[in-house]
């Protein structure tokens, strides 16, 4: 399911839609109809744990994906306007196997002022402005929007798993 790193600079809605289709197929196999269940299903499919944690993150930072040798951790800011969207966005980074700094490299012992600076909106914007990171952010954001739409649709149409199977049959 995680085919490759972010492709060099080309934005492809088809690539993102295919990833959402694959995630929804896995969700159907695991009878997962909520986003938290989808995350667990993806973890089981990948045979790699995905943990969800809450933390106080810096200004302008809603979530982070942290990579450890044996698991991925999605950290969500404690006061989010949309927990599900941020969770879906971070799941997108995992599904697309976007590069990120391994956790030991980003968990330096630092004071609150240094951490706030590092995670400030300015630092975040610099990351987004970089080519590969911009592509990765676009993919994750587009993935989140498409996945959340699919989850809303099949949860509003009745029994989620039967709708997933029906949608699979229609292609």
Residue 120 pLDDT greater than 90, yes or no: no
Total domains, the chain = 1
Cα–Cα distance measured from residue 136 to residue 11, given in angstroms and rounded to the nearest whole number? 10
Domain of 29, CATH number, reads 1.10.10
Closest by CA position to 142, among listed 3, 10, 28 = 10
Query: Is there a domain that residue 168 lies in?
Result: no
Would you place residue 130 in the very low, low, confident or very high pLDDT band (cuts 50, 70, 90)? low
Q: Two tokens at 92? A: 């997108």
pLDDT in tens, 13-69: 999 999 999 999 999 899 898 999 999 999 999 999 999 999 988 888 899 999 899
Does a structural domain hold residue 6? no
Contact 94, 72 (CB under 8 A): yes
Per-residue pLDDT tens for 81-91? 889 999 999 99
CB atoms within 10 A of CB 34: 13
Q: How does pLDDT run across 90-108, given as a tens digit for each residue?
A: 999 999 998 765 555 554 4
């Amino acid at each position: 399911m995680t085919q490759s790193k972010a492709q060099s600079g080309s934005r492809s809605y088809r690539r993102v839609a295919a990833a959402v289709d694959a995630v929804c197929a896995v969700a159907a196999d695991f009878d997962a109809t909520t986003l938290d269940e989808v995350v667990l299903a993806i973890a089981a499919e990948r045979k790699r744990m995905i943990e969800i944690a809450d933390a106080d993150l810096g200004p302008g930072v809603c979530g982070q994906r942290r990579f450890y040798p044996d698991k991925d951790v999605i950290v969500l800011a404690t006061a989010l306007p949309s927990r599900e969207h941020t969770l879906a966005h971070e799941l997108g980074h995992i599904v697309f196997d976007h590069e990120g700094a391994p956790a030991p490299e980003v968990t330096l012992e630092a004071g609150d002022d240094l951490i706030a600076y590092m995670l400030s909106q300015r630092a975040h914007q610099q990351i987004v402005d970089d080519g590969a990171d911009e592509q990765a952010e676009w993919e994750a954001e587009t993935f989140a929007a498409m996945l959340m739409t699919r989850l809303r649709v099949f949860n509003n149409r009745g029994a989620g798993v039967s709708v997933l199977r029906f949608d699979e049959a229609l292609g």
